[in-house]
Amino acid sequence: MRRVFSRLRAINAAASGSMAVEFALIAPVLITMLAGVIFYGVYLGAANSVQQLAADAARASVAGLNDAERIAIARAHVASAAPSFTLIDPTKTSVTAKVSSTNPNVFEVAVSYDASKLAIWGLQGLLPLPSKTITRSAAIQRGGF
């Protein structure tokens, strides 16, 4: 019986470094997955911020009396509200505001953001990546109806 236990101890002693080898093989995959989750989270947060800017600008534009004033209000709202969103750089946003081409009673606001400086682009070649330009739009019916 003593022989069996001594052989088991010898086998156990021979496998003492196997966990370190397994970790060395798995760690790069786990670190890449963790970085992907974090970087995609930042990208999706920035996309959500751009959508919120577009929706807020569309709602603010309702106060305009004519199309030119609505466009000015939408642009001013994005310029004043963008600094409060921590995941986007306000200098990289652009606004397009216009009357809908399909319905003259609907006003559309589109906000584009150049996301080329986000950390997600460090994973290029490792993961499939989204577009470097985030564009979101919102439409709202004109007031007074």
Of 115, 98, 9, 101, the closest CA to residue 54 belongs to 98
pLDDT confidence of residue 11: 61
Residue 8: band (very low, low, confident or very high) from pLDDT cuts 50, 70, 90: low
Average pLDDT of the segment spanning 22-35: 91
Number of domains in the chain: 1
pLDDT over 70 (residue 144): no
Instruction: Note whether 136 and 111 are within 8 A (CB).
Output: yes
pLDDT confidence of residue 112: 98
Q: What is the DSSP string of the chain?
A: -HHHHHHHHHHHHHTTTHHHHHHHHHHHHHHHHHHHHHHHHHHHHHHHHHHHHHHHHHHHHTT-SSHHHHHHHHHHHHHHHGGG-TTS-GGGEEEEEEE-SS-TTEEEEEEEEE-TTSGGGGGBTTB----SEEEEEEEEEPS--
Q: What is the pLDDT of residues 84-137, one digit of tens each?
A: 999 999 999 999 999 999 998 999 999 999 999 998 988 888 888 999 999 999
